[in-house]
């Protein structure tokens, strides 16, 4: 069996030798659209994270039996074409839940605790020069008693809700599909979530219901000092609106996802003056060592079950 891994750089330094037990393996750190067909045309199995596999490509691959998506989202593969050509497509779900939940709180406490400011204060020598044992110029707050609004109460959102509740936060949620009904937490309208919450975290997919869900007018609804965290998908929060509002309104924002990844060097968010209230990580919430190990093991199992 011939197997090709098209974008192994997304696995980081994870061990990939398990694939070698399955057949003849070709590894590529990255694969451009122009390189894809040449690399897949004679294989039985494709492993891709974000490399796009089109209907035209499948037609040119007579041996292809399985496309393994090393992720949960499947929008990089033409699923209708795969079904028509009797090519199995398998993704991996649930592998990164704990990692994303943990990163949500990592982002929250970085912003809530003014961590950037205090770290720089010490490392710049200002604490040493101060003559005082402490420094409280930047106030920070406890999570206990705060209102936390969750947008998208799926597996990840529910995990965040459980931990937020353990910290003493009052949790409510907005169902982006309108179908989720969890009696454990109060269901709210999106307006109430935005207007009343001290912390808002997004754990929803990008679709017609969530595209630009949080735009200019929605950002203006937020309380001064509130924290917005997007760990769902880029495109749910309007980045153009955000780049303007951050300098006009004292809110705090943490983003692990952007509409275009990687972001452009001249992205509007890089020009925001209030950088101390903006925290961006390069889509890493899913990438704990443990999550990547689970992902690779699941992909290998998907191939074995062919």
Instruction: Check residue 144 and give its pLDDT.
Output: 98
Convert the pLDDT of each residue in 93-113 to its tens digit.
999 999 999 999 999 999 999
Q: What DSSP state is assigned to residue 65?
A: -
Tell me the DSSP string of 122-158. Answer: HHTTHHHHH-SS---SS----STT-EEEEE--SHHHH
Tell me the DSSP string of the chain. Answer: -EEEES-GGGGTT---GGGGGTSEEEE-S---HHHHHHHHTT-SEEEESS--B-HHHHHT-TT--EEEESSS--TTB-HHHHHHTT-EEE---STTHHHHHHHHHHHHHHHHTTHHHHHHHHHTTHHHHH-SS---SS----STT-EEEEE--SHHHHHHHHHHHHTT-EEEEE-SSS----TTSEE--HHHHHHH-SEEEE----STTTTTSB-HHHHHHSPTT-EEEE-S-TTSB-HHHHHHHTTTS--EEEES--SSSSPPTT-GGGG-S-GGGEEE--S-TT--HHHHHHHHHHHHHHHHT-
Mean pLDDT calculated for residue range 268-286:
97
Distance of CA 300 to the CA centre of its chain: 23
List 103, 203, 233, 277, catalytic entry: 233
Mean pLDDT calculated for residue range 228-234:
97
Instruction: Give domain 2-94+289-304's CATH architecture.
Output: 3-Layer(aba) Sandwich (3.40)
CATH topology of domain 97-280: Rossmann fold (3.40.50)
Instruction: Check residue 41 and give its pLDDT.
Output: 97
pLDDT at residue 178 greater than cutoff 90 = no
pTM for the model: 0.94
Domain limits of the chain?
Answer: 2-94+289-304, 97-280
Mean pLDDT calculated for residue range 61-78:
96
What mean pLDDT is reported for the chain? 97
Convert the pLDDT of each residue in 29-64 to its tens digit.
999 999 999 999 999 999 999 999 999 999 999 999
List 261, 290, 301, 304, catalytic entry: 261
List 203, 277, 283, 292, catalytic entry: 283
Instruction: Check residue 108 and give its pLDDT.
Output: 98
| Distance in angstroms between the alpha carbons of the first and the last residue of the chain | 11
Residue 6 confidence class, pLDDT cut points 50, 70, 90: very high
pLDDT at residue 180 greater than cutoff 90 = no
For 219, residues 6+ apart whose C-beta sits below 8 A from its C-beta are 228, 238, 241, 242, 245, 249, 251
Is residue 233 part of the annotated active site? The answer reads yes
pLDDT at residue 255 greater than cutoff 90 = yes
Integer CA distances (angstroms), 152 to 72, 101, 195, 218, in order: 16, 13, 17, 16
Convert the pLDDT of each residue in 110-130 to its tens digit.
999 999 999 999 999 999 999
Supply angle C-alpha 207, 57, 40, rounded to 5: 110
The number of beta carbons lying within 10 Å of the beta carbon of residue 260 is 10
* Helix (H), strand (E) counts: the chain: 11, 12
Instruction: Check residue 197 and give its pLDDT.
Output: 98
């Amino acid at each position: 069996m011939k197997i090709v891994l098209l974008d192994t750089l997304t696995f980081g330094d994870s061990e990939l030798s398990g694939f070698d037990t399955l057949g003849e393996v070709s590894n590529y750190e990255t694969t451009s659209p122009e390189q894809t067909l040449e690399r897949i045309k004679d294989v039985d199995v494709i492993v891709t994270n974000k490399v796009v596999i089109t209907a035209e490509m499948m037609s040119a691959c007579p041996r292809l039996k399985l496309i393994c998506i090393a992720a949960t989202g499947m929008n990089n593969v033409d699923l209708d074409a795969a079904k028509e050509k009797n090519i199995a497509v398998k993704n991996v779900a649930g592998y990164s839940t704990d990692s994303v939940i943990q990163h949500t709180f990592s982002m929250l406490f970085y912003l809530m605790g003014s961590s950037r400011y205090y770290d720089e204060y010490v490392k710049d020598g200002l604490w040493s020069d101060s003559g005082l044992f402490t420094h409280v110029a930047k106030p920070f707050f406890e999570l206990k008693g705060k209102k936390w609004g969750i947008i998208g109460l799926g597996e990840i959102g529910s995990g965040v809700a459980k931990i937020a509740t353990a910290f003493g936060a009052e949790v409510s949620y907005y169902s982006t599909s309108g179908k989720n009904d969890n009696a454990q937490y109060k269901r709210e309208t999106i307006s109430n979530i935005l207007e009343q919450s001290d912390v808002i975290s997004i754990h929803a997919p990008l679709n017609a219901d969530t595209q630009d869900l949080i735009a200019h007018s929605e950002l203006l609804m937020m309380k001064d000092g509130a924290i917005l965290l997007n760990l769902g998908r880029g495109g749910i929060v309007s980045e153009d609106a955000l780049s303007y509002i951050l300098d006009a309104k004292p809110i705090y924002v943490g983003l692990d996802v952007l509409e275009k990844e990687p972001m452009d060097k001249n992205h509007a968010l890089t020009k925001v003056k209030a950088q101390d209230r903006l925290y961006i990580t390069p889509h890493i919430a899913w990438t704990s060592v443990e999550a990547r190990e689970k992902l690779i093991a699941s992909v290998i199992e998907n191939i074995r079950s062919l």
